[in-house]
Amino acid sequence: MNSLILRTTTQLMITILLLFSVFLLLRGHDLPGGGFIGGLVAAAAVALYLIAFGADAATLLLRVRPRALLGAGLLAGVLAGLMGMVTAEPFLTGQWLIFDLPGNAEVKLSSVLLFDVGVYLVVVGAVLTMLFALEQG
């Protein structure tokens, strides 16, 4: 679609949408949000770019094929599940790495977050695979 208004708006909107999707992904741990809805918002951002600038520009923006995102997400999900093997616990048991930083701060890394990132990537990959197929079909 060749519209200056849409192109200018898209460049502003895509930033907000992607930022909002990451916000939803990270907040999903104990408040509304999570990988699924975050992935949908990110896919909507790329879909907007696809409509405004065309399929070729959207492929360049994405850098990787949507199917590769799908596979990477599934891999992250399985890896997060297998982390329980380290402590001989059942599949998908949450594992935590807690680092103490100077200044009374601590960073908590968990397999739960890795699983949510996997869900995020799978949703982005699946929705974009469909959208690109529709665009070329």
Partner 1 sequence: MSLLDGPTSLLQVAAYIAFAATTLAFIASFVRVVVGPSLADRVLALDMMGLVSVSLIATYAIAADQALFLDAALALALIGFLGTVAFARFIELRRRSSHE
Binding site for partner 1 (CB under 8 A): 1, 6, 13, 16-17, 20, 24, 31-33, 37, 41, 44, 47-48, 51-52
Question: Distance between CA atoms of 111 and 81, rounded to whole angstroms?
Answer: 8
Residue (77 or 132) nearer to partner 1, CB = 132
CA geometry: angle at 113 spanning 32 and 91, to 5°? 110
Tokens of 135: 């665009």
Residue (50 or 69) nearer to partner 1, CB = 50
At a CB cut-off of 8 Å and minimum separation 6, what does 98 contact?
106, 107, 108, 109
Least distance to partner 1 from the beta carbon of 45, Å?
9
Residue (13 or 74) nearer to partner 1, CB = 13
